[in-house]
């Protein structure tokens, strides 16, 4: 029986869409997204996922891999500030979460493990934007 290693696939493979090179004068974000779409999923770290999430690129695949990283470390940061990947993930509009029950359940579990950390205020002070995002998701009845 053949199995597919999804981690070795790229977003282009998963989406079935190969895009042309960005035009001359394209923004850094456009250029980065183009390159990241050609990168195997398992090679995407917190910084790359942050870019893709902020650009709303291939959300189902990107959110799933981001949740995998956050399940291992809810404050997964790479070169970002603590909570940066989680912030990008929770910035996805509630409509995405309504249609993705499995990812929503995984997000809830990540939030629960995060809030159980004793030293949380050290990394995410009360004025951190993440708390506003979580409140928005609570009000939208996602969490």
Compute φ and ψ for 65, nearest 5 degrees.
-70, -40
Q: Which of 104, 85, 92 is nearest to 45 (CA)?
A: 85
What pLDDT score does 108 carry? 94
Interatomic CA distance for residues 51 and 78, integer angstroms: 12
What pLDDT score does 1 carry? 47
What pLDDT score does 81 carry? 74
What pLDDT score does 4 carry? 56
Q: Which of 111, 10, 112 is nearest to 58 (CA)?
A: 10
Helix (H, G, I), strand (E, B) or coil at 87: helix
What pLDDT score does 75 carry? 82
What pTM, to 2 d.p., does this model score?
0.85
List per-residue pLDDT tens for the chain, 143 residues long. 445 566 688 999 988 888 888 888 888 888 999 999 999 999 999 999 999 999 999 999 999 999 999 999 888 776 667 788 999 999 999 999 999 999 999 999 999 988 887 777 777 777 778 888 889 999 999 98
Interatomic CA distance for residues 73 and 133, integer angstroms: 19
């Amino acid at each position: 029986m053949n199995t597919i290693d999804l981690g070795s696939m790229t977003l282009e493979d998963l989406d079935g869409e190969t895009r042309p090179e960005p035009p001359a004068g394209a923004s850094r974000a456009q250029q980065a997204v183009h390159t990241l779409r050609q990168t195997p999923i398992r090679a995407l770290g917190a910084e790359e996922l942050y870019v893709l999430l902020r650009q709303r690129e291939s959300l189902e695949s990107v959110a799933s891999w981001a949740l995998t990283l956050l399940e291992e470390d809810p404050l997964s940061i790479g070169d970002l500030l603590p909570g940066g990947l989680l912030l990008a993930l929770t910035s996805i509009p509630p409509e995405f979460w309504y249609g993705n029950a499995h990812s929503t359940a995984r997000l809830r579990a990540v939030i629960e493990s995060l809030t159980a950390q004793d030293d949380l205020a050290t990394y995410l002070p009360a004025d951190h934007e993440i708390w506003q995002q979580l409140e928005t998701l609570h009000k939208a009845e996602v969490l």
